[in-house]
Structure 1
């Protein structure tokens, strides 16, 4: 299969490493990830495999991102805007404009799906308590 856009496996590894370095320092995302990730090297390798499957069609990832986000229990819909902004910044700083834009579009599409899944499980967080009057 032809990759979704021109990028190498090594570039994916680089983006993932730079991104998670920024996540660890982020005031909102850092504590959420720190509560769940104890092996950053292993986590980064797993997420790189996710992106290699999504972009390069390499059959190297078989996880379930939606389940992982829901099982964490503390991932909130508002976290996704932080995640995507930080990811976009990483892409712009790490890649040429064309692959950065293509990867960003894919990440935003995936992020919308994950956010919707989290909102469906936690409607009280997304929309507030029901008004019964």
Structure 2
């Protein structure tokens, strides 16, 4: 007989149960001290936070509510982030990078196991909500009428994604691409000024126009494919 193993849900619940209020307070204060020194994130936060002491207490309350189900937080992160001007995926990506670095350095395994996954979901959800509420971030999702598919790319994964796709490139004149994400998550970046980014989850698609510079980056293990039209 095989020994029973804990389900991912049960393991997550066990990790969360081992996290203390003190752990979360140290995390919030350590992480945001780092954010306030970061060249990309600091200007964004400093221009919107008037009272850091109060803001840090709100953030502590948020994480206590999220992880420990403790009452006390009554904020609305979604609409506040949706109103921020000039927000891009690069900000969320950097936020996650600093967050994961902080949880690793704190060396509290139960804390890292619990909050890292929460932070990834939070960044993805906030970014998707931001794009929905900012018309300038609208993207073409359906192929224009009159075009026909003539070629399909291989299925690309992090293991076989060509280096050229990770660097700035474009589709030749007269050819359009329909990028479909089969699994995982992918960031599509238009290499224009200012750059525009879009997070694509499994089941989503995006039209890539001819001669528009762009590149792609996997943010979660997965796969995508491109149908070429003309």
TM-score range, shorter chain: 0.7 to 0.9
CA change 1:83–1:90 in 2 (3 A) is same
For 1:31 and 1:63, locate their aligned partners in 2 and report how far apart those are by CA, in whole Å: 23
Aligned to 1:104: 116
Q: Given that residues 49 and 60 in structure 1 are in contact (C-alpha distance below 8 angstroms), is that contact kept between their aligned partners in structure 2?
A: yes
Confirm or deny that 1:51 pairs with 2:51: no
Aligned runs of 1:16-31 on 2, under 5 Å? 16-31=28-43
Aligned runs of 1:69-88 on 2, under 5 Å? 69-88=81-100
Greater C-alpha Rg? 2
Aligned to 2:197: 126
Q: Provide, for residues 52-83 of structure 1, a one-character-per-residue CA deviation record: whole Å limited to 9, x for no partner.
A: 00000011101111111112323322210000
The structure richer in helix per residue is 1
Where structure 2 has 5 or more consecutive residues not aligned to the other structure, the ranges are 1-12, 139-195, 199-207, 210-230
Equivalent residue for 1:11, pick from 19, 23, 27: 23
For 2:91 and 2:103, locate their aligned partners in 1 and report how far apart those are by CA, in whole Å: 18
Q: Provide, for residues 75-117 of structure 1, a one-character-per-residue CA deviation record: whole Å limited to 9, x for no partner.
A: 3222100001101111111142232122101111111100111
Cα RMSD (Å) of the superposition?
2.1
For 2:36 and 2:27, locate their aligned partners in 1 and report how far apart those are by CA, in whole Å: 14
For 1:26 and 1:38, locate their aligned partners in 2 and report how far apart those are by CA, in whole Å: 18
For 1:55 and 1:11, locate their aligned partners in 2 and report how far apart those are by CA, in whole Å: 11
Deviates more, 1:91-100 or 1:52-61: 91-100
The structure richer in strand per residue is 2
The count of corresponding residues between Structure 1 and Structure 2 is: 129
Query: What TM-score do you get using the length of structure 1 for normalisation?
Result: 0.86
Query: What TM-score do you get using the length of structure 2 for normalisation?
Result: 0.52
In structure 2, the residue corresponding to 1:126 is in which secondary structure? strand
Where structure 1 has 5 or more consecutive residues not aligned to the other structure, the ranges are none
Q: Given that residues 23 and 111 in structure 2 are in contact (C-alpha distance below 8 angstroms), is that contact kept between their aligned partners in structure 1?
A: no
In structure 2, the residue corresponding to 1:92 is in which secondary structure? helix
Q: Given that residues 19 and 110 in structure 2 are in contact (C-alpha distance below 8 angstroms), is that contact kept between their aligned partners in structure 1?
A: no
